Amino acid sequence: AEDGLGGGMSNVPSLEETFATLQYTVDQCIVICESKEFTDEVMAHAGGQFPDLSVGEVKAALVPQAVALLPGLKAAAAAALAEKTKQEEAVQEHLQMIGRCPMNFEWVKTSGGYRCAGGAHFVPDDQLSHLYV
């Protein structure tokens, strides 16, 4: 049915708006778009944009949007991974300049920072955050 908004995609629920409103991560969005299996939360929000549509109509409107969004989501995920890798390389370079821990163990990434392989020394991430460019 025409809603007076000029046709196009304006008369169907927006998957992109739904993802943004629900604050889904890029990785969550990729999983949903690849599988085309929309969570109850996505269906409820998208369906709420156009309450007159049936569940089947909402899903039918979301599937082509999922296909269209997928390349951009994958590009965003790749860019984020490249940035994380760049930051990790900067940290590793700094740790190499510092050298091994006082007991001559290598530094190993753990939750919240780096611990020496011997377990006695720790450098928290916040002390290395100035390396993130």
- What would the pLDDT profile of 8-57 be if each residue is shown by its tens digit? 456 889 999 999 999 999 999 999 999 999 999 999 999 999 999 999 99
**Cα separation, 48 vs 27, whole angstroms:** 24
Mean residue pLDDT across the chain? 85
Q: How confident is the model at residue 2 (pLDDT cuts 50, 70, 90)?
A: very low
This prediction's pTM: 0.58
- Quickly state the pLDDT bin for 73 (edges 50, 70, 90): very high
Q: What are the CB-based long-range contacts (under 8 Å, 24+) for 114-119?
A: none
Q: What is the rounded CA–CA span in Å between residue 123 and residue 92?
A: 12
Overall residue count recorded for the chain in this entry: 133
Segment 75-90 mean pLDDT: 86
